[in-house]
Structure formats: C-alpha cells, structure tokens
C-alpha cells in the first residue's frame, strides 16, 4: 500500500475535455466552447507550426536530452547562460523537480491560499509539509508568507499572476520580498502568464537572478505561445540550483517536436503580440458582460478571469449542459466562484449569451 502522504493526495482536476462532454451530453463537438484551461484561443503561430512539421521528420530519434537548441534560443532571448536553464515537460514538471530536489520529510514549502494547485500537490507527493498562508484580497500576502517561513522551510512558491485568481504582485514588491527571504530558501516565481502582463505591469525577474541565487523563475510555452498540448516549460536560475534540478529530471523529458516548436515560438513576436492584444480585448468583453449581469469578478492580469456566481457547482453544471466548459474552483477554496479563460470573441460571446440562464 502507498504511504499515508500519498493516499491523502486529492488529484489535480483538469478542465473537462470537449470529446468527453460531447459524449456525456450528446452534443456535437463543434458546438462546444471550452474556456477551462487558460489555453491560447489563437492556436499556434505559423512559424512554429512549420518547425513542428520539420521536427516530425526525425521522430524515430530520441529528442536531444539536453535541449541544446531551445536552451540556446532562451540564452539569446533572455541573456542567460546555458547552465542557468532547466527544461520541463510543461512548467508543472519544473515545479515537481523543485519538490523532488528540495523537499522531503521534515521539510516545508510555503504557498498562498487560492494559489496554483500543483504547489500543494508536489509538496505532498514529496512527503513534505505544505504551509498555506491566508490570501489578502485573493492574492499573495507577502508579509504573512515571510512570517510563515521556519527553519524547516526550503521552498516558497509564488505565482505572478496567480491562477485561478488572476491577482498580480508589482515587481518592486517582489524584489523587496526576495531581499528578505533567507538565502537557504528557494523562491519559485511561477510566471506562467507573464506574457499577458500590461506594459506598465512588466518587470524583469530574470535580471534579479544574479542578485538572488535562491530565485528560480519558472515559465511555460503552454499559455501565450499556444503550445499547451506539447508540454514545454522552463526554469531559469542560479547554476547550482539548476544542477540540482537536473539531477532529478527525467532523461528526454521534453519531446523533440516540443523542443523545436518552443525554439521557433520564442522568436515569433508577431504571434505573441496578437495573442496579447486578443486577450486584452477578450478580457474587456467578458468583464463588461459581468458588469451588465451585475456579477462580481476579480481583476485579472492573466488570460482568464474568476467571477462570482453563488453556487459554482450548480452554475457550472448548467453551463456544461449548454456546451460551455469553464472551471469550477471549489478545490481552491472558492466554491462560489468560477474561472473562465479568455477565448475567441465568438466563444466569449457564446459564454455570455448562455450565462444568464445558467445563474441560479
Ligand atoms: N503555473 C501556473 C500558475 C499555471 O496556471 C499553470 C497551468 N495551469 C502551470 C504553472 C503549468 O502549466 P504547464 O505545465 O502547462 O506549463
């Protein structure tokens, strides 16, 4: 039998796949709108698609286990050295490597209430103790998180913007926080949604790594780059931290198509810009819709927004019956709220059209 700390885990609940809902409800797949997993509704950029196709020609070979070309592309893009990069099978993989390398029995990880679900999951799977710090205005309370650090703390997880609340911590506050965290505590700054930040919100965490060797910046190609299905993420940090993560990393953890696609996507600024602009417009479309309906929402810096409906489970069920998939977040301690991802204009419109009749 598995040990108690494994049996106590409640598994991650992903958004319901379109094919599953179609079968459950007897709906045509094409009529279903999925706004549940913070995916990029624009799909994949053309240059990236071409790179994927080229990589398919060599699919009988193992991928480059060290991901040289993608790392080289990241070096050029961000001015880091190759030994400052670890690649992950999605950034979830990076988070798990952190837990595998830095956590374990008798150790603690600190994260915020309503923060991304993989932090408690990875902590628990490593047999460590998770310390959940109450949220402030649905976001991270950095002072309380500092106060929660004990001699057993090895990792602090911070998502900026946070999922599922979309809350954002300004760069200067993060920098001041880093200056106060003990040097033997790794701060994982999860920037999965950083490409969606407005120009006046942007900050340069990668530039802080030289000053804070205990900082690991984690990013992904799943969101703004439109590659969620390929599973590519990365961590940037001090070479000593990266070396430890590489020890627990699976060989060949990123597939060859993923490596090629990500390297191409990284330089497709045009696609990134279009994704940003479409997201900003979609965010406005949804929040104006909430306003018309008199619904509360939490201002979001990501590609999703969390809104208050009262009975989240019931409204979610009603939306599913209409072929609209959003994300219930009862598991995040927010049973009265639902999270909706920004979709195409037509998808957002469909969601807003069915929503009034789904409210209970
Ligand atoms: N961090 C945050 C805050 C997220 O919301 C997500 C995606 N749900 C991830 C990390 C992981 O994404 P991926 O593994 O696809 O990179």
Average confidence score pLDDT of the chain: 97
The domain boundary residue, chosen from 241, 265, 289: 265
> Which tens digits make up the pLDDT trace of 58-81?
999 999 999 999 999 999 999 999
C-alpha span between 212 and 264 (Å, rounded): 30
List residues bridging with 298 in a β-sheet.
306
The preferred substitution site among 89, 91, 139, 164 for testing ligand 1, maximizing ligand atoms within 8 Å of CB, is 91
Tokens coding 358? 């789904």
Same domain, yes or no, for 219 and 317?
Answer: no
- Give the closest residue (by CA) to ligand 1 atom 6: 192
The domain boundary residue, chosen from 201, 231, 265: 265
- Whichever domain contains 332, its CATH number is 3.90.1150.10
14 Cα to the center of ligand 1, angstroms = 11
pLDDT at 15 over 90: no
> For position 237, what pLDDT does the model report?
98
Same domain, yes or no, for 52 and 38?
Answer: no
Same domain, yes or no, for 100 and 131?
Answer: yes
Q: How many structural domains does the chain have?
A: 2
Average pLDDT in the 173-192 region?
98
Same domain, yes or no, for 191 and 316?
Answer: no
List residues bridging with 220 in a β-sheet.
233
Same domain, yes or no, for 62 and 127?
Answer: yes
292 Cα to the center of ligand 1, angstroms = 31
Tokens coding 172? 């200067």
Structural element, H or E, at residue 147:
helix 142-147
Average pLDDT in the 38-44 region?
97
Residues with Cβ within 8 Å of 165's Cβ and at least 6 positions away in sequence, in order, are: 114, 135, 138, 139, 298, 300, 306, 334
C-alpha span between 160 and 169 (Å, rounded): 6
6 Cα to the center of ligand 1, angstroms = 22
- Give the closest residue (by CA) to ligand 1 atom 1: 192
Same domain, yes or no, for 246 and 333?
Answer: no
> For position 233, what pLDDT does the model report?
98
The domain boundary residue, chosen from 214, 240, 265: 265
123 Cα to the center of ligand 1, angstroms = 16
36 Cα to the center of ligand 1, angstroms = 13
Same domain, yes or no, for 95 and 118?
Answer: yes
- Give the closest residue (by CA) to ligand 1 atom 2: 192
239 Cα to the center of ligand 1, angstroms = 23
> How would you classify the pairing of strands 324-325 and 33-34?
parallel
pLDDT at 254 over 90: yes
Query: Which residues, judged by CB distance below 6 Å to any ligand atom, belong to the binding site of ligand 1?
Result: 38, 90-92, 116, 159, 163, 190, 192, 220, 222, 228, 233
354 Cα to the center of ligand 1, angstroms = 28
- Whichever domain contains 258, its CATH number is 3.40.640.10
pLDDT at 10 over 90: no
192 Cα to the center of ligand 1, angstroms = 6
> For position 360, what pLDDT does the model report?
80
Same domain, yes or no, for 24 and 97?
Answer: no
User: How big is the CA angle at 218 (ends 96 and 251), to the nearest 5 degrees?
Assistant: 50
Q: What percent of the chain has pLDDT over 70?
A: 100
The preferred substitution site among 111, 116, 329 for testing ligand 1, maximizing ligand atoms within 8 Å of CB, is 116
Same domain, yes or no, for 243 and 325?
Answer: no
Query: ipTM for the complex?
Result: 0.99
Maximum Cα interatomic distance, the chain, rounded to a whole number of Å: 56
Same domain, yes or no, for 54 and 147?
Answer: yes
> For position 12, what pLDDT does the model report?
87
Same domain, yes or no, for 158 and 184?
Answer: yes
Same domain, yes or no, for 259 and 282?
Answer: no
Structural element, H or E, at residue 121:
helix 118-125
List residues bridging with 49 in a β-sheet.
none
> Which tens digits make up the pLDDT trace of 299-353?
999 999 999 999 999 999 999 999 999 999 999 999 999 999 999 999 999 999 9
Structural domain boundaries enclosing 346:
4-43+269-358
> Which tens digits make up the pLDDT trace of 43-52?
999 999 999 9
The preferred substitution site among 89, 117, 169, 220 for testing ligand 1, maximizing ligand atoms within 8 Å of CB, is 220
Q: Where are the beta strands (DSSP E) in the chain?
A: 33-34, 85-88, 108-112, 129-133, 153-159, 186-190, 215-220, 233-237, 297-298, 304-308, 324-325, 327-328, 337-341
pLDDT at 14 over 90: no
**Which ligand 1 atom is nearest residue 190's CA?**
1
pLDDT at 253 over 90: yes
Number of other CB atoms surrounding residue 270 within 10 Å: 11
What's the DSSP call for residue 360? -
């Amino acid at each position: 039998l598995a040990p108690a700390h494994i049996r106590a885990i409640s598994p991650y609940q992903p958004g319901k796949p379109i094919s599953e809902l179609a079968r459950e409800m007897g709906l045509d797949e094409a009529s279903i709108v999925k706004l549940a997993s913070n995916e990029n509704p624009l799909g994949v950029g053309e240059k990236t698609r071409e790179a994927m196709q080229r990589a398919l020609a060599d699919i009988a070979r193992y991928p480059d286990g060290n991901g040289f070309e993608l790392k080289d592309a990241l070096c050029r893009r961000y001015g880091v050295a190759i030994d400052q990069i670890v690649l992950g099978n999605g950034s979830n993989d990076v988070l798990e490597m952190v837990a595998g390398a830095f956590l374990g029995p008798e150790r603690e990880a600190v994260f915020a209430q309503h923060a991304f679900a993989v932090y408690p999951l990875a902590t628990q799977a490593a047999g460590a103790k998770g310390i959940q710090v109450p949220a402030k205005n649905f976001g991270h309370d950095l002072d309380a998180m500092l106060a929660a650090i004990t001699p057993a703390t090895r990792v602090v997880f911070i998502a900026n913007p946070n999922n599922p609340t979309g809350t954002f911590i300004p760069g200067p506050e993060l920098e001041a926080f880093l200056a106060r965290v003990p040097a033997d505590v790794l701060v994982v700054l999860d920037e999965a949604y950083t490409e969606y930040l407005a120009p006046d919100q942007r900050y340069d965490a990668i530039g802080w790594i030289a000053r804070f060797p205990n900082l690991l910046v984690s990013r992904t190609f799943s969101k703004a780059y439109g590659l969620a299905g390929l599973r590519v993420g990365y961590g940037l940090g001090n070479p000593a931290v990266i070396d430890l993560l590489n020890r627990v990393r699976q060989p060949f953890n990123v597939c060859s198509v993923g490596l090629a696609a990500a390297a191409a996507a990284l330089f497709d600024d045009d696609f990134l810009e279009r994704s940003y602009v479409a997201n900003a417009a979609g965010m406005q479309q949804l929040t104006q819709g909430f306003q018309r309906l008199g619904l509360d929402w939490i201002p979001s810096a990501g590609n999703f927004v969390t809104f208050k409906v009262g009975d989240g489970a019931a409204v979610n069920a009603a939306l599913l019956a209409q072929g609209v998939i959003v994300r219930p977040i009862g598991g995040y301690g927010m049973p009265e709220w639902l999270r909706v991802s920004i979709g195409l204009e037509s998808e957002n419109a469909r969601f807003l059209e069915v929503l009034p009749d789904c409210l209970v």
